[in-house]
Amino acid sequence: MISRHTRFPFIALALLITFALGSCGDDEPALPEPDPDCIGPAGGRIGVSDTNASLHGVSLEVEPGDWDECWTVIMGYNWTFSTPNFPDGLHGYAGMLTGSLELTIGRQVTWDTWEDAPDSLDMQLTFPMRDMTFGPGEKATAFRYDEPAGIYRLVLPEQEDDQQLTISTHDHQSLWTWGKVDLGEVDFDTYLLPVMEDLHGEGVWLEIEAKLDSLRQAAIAGEIEATCATLEIVRGSLAAGRDAAADIVRAIQDAQAPGCGLCDATTPEFYEELAEYCQLKVEQILTDLFLGDSNNLFLRLYGFIMVEYKRYCIEQLSCDFECFYDAVDAGFYYNLAIFHVANLMVDLIDWAMAGGYIDCK
């Protein structure tokens, strides 16, 4: 098979012959025209739509402004034998015969020169979930093959639903595939530890790990008690998880609902406004229901005015809740739940310490 780095001169040669046959009177051929299908500063998307293709449903998307220049994107398929078998705990979307996505991003500078795109290009890759099912402790994930290290690197999805998972990356030189990870079966240090360090930062994760190890050792020794020292370990771990989840929630909000107003689901103000929105919405519906079809012209007019007034009040809220809840996905609610559970547990521990239920002397 011709590699990605050698096939383009052949393409260019074919184009050159075609051009020469059609314009024999020119002294020398002009440079190729810019690729009209390239992705540039305006952003764009390319995907595999052929239902018979092994990569059917895979797509690459670039947000407007992420790429400063125009680059051609080519999607290729590599057979499963181009990478090693999956280790214990990693399962590809099609079992052992799972193939990989090979991305070629660059441009034809001259007839015989291909320029590879830089490593810093931001993009989103979306993979179909197909008929994948999940058991306890299994999570959908993408993998990229780290060829120098000879192992797969896990990349957890930023967005996920029953149909597809989406990750953000700038690595377009690795082979990509997707499937699921069994958290109880996979080697933690090799595959999950790098993911945790990426999520929390290496220093924060080491601190969390040390506290959890201290708690685990105390439990093994039968010395675990509801003391201040123990609860401070638990509280520190929960607070770190809460803060990490809050960062993810805010990142999803900023990315998926940028035009929905000031909507930060990690703040009390969000829920105060949400309660006000719900009240206004109910009042609007009930007013329209009871007065909208009234036989009394005055009551019908009054109902119309009140419905419009409630709509006006809803529009004055900082957050457009209808826009917001249409925009965010399952990943948002998953991390929001982690944030609230961890935050509740931290508050309970603080309450127990402050109220004297735990002796902190």
Q: How confident is the model at residue 172 (pLDDT cuts 50, 70, 90)?
A: very high
Determine the Cα–Cα distance for residues 135 and 112; give it in Å rounded to an integer.
51
Q: Bigger pLDDT: 360 or 19? A: 360
pLDDT at 139: 85
Q: Bigger pLDDT: 310 or 287? A: 310
pLDDT tens digits, one per residue of 325-352: 888 888 788 888 888 888 888 887 777 7
pLDDT tens digits, one per residue of 54-88: 899 999 999 999 999 999 999 999 887 888 888 88
Q: Give how far Cα 288 sits from Cα of 147, 281, 315, 322, Å.
A: 64, 11, 18, 19
Domain ranges of the chain: 36-67+75-106+116-196
pLDDT tens digits, one per residue of 97-149: 788 999 999 998 888 889 999 988 999 999 998 778 888 778 889 999 999 98
- 131-163 per-residue burial string, b: 16 or more CB within 10 A, e: under 16: ebeeeeebebbbbbbeeeeebbbbbbbbbbeee
Q: How confident is the model at residue 199 (pLDDT cuts 50, 70, 90)?
A: low
CATH code, 36-67+75-106+116-196: 2.60.220
Percent of the chain with pLDDT over 70: 73
Q: Is the pTM of this model over 0.75?
A: no
Cβ-defined contacts of 6-10 (< 8 Å, 24+): 8/108, 8/114, 9/112, 9/114
Q: Choose the most confident range, by mean pLDDT, from 15-29, 86-100, 102-116, 219-233.
A: 102-116
Determine the Cα–Cα distance for residues 236 and 219; give it in Å rounded to an integer.
17
Query: Is the separation of the CB atoms in 174 and 145 below 8 Å?
Result: yes
Q: What is the 3-state secondary structure (H, E, C) of 126-183?
A: EEECCCCCCCCCEEEEEEEEECCCCEEEEECCCEECCCEEEEEECCCCCEEEEEEEEC
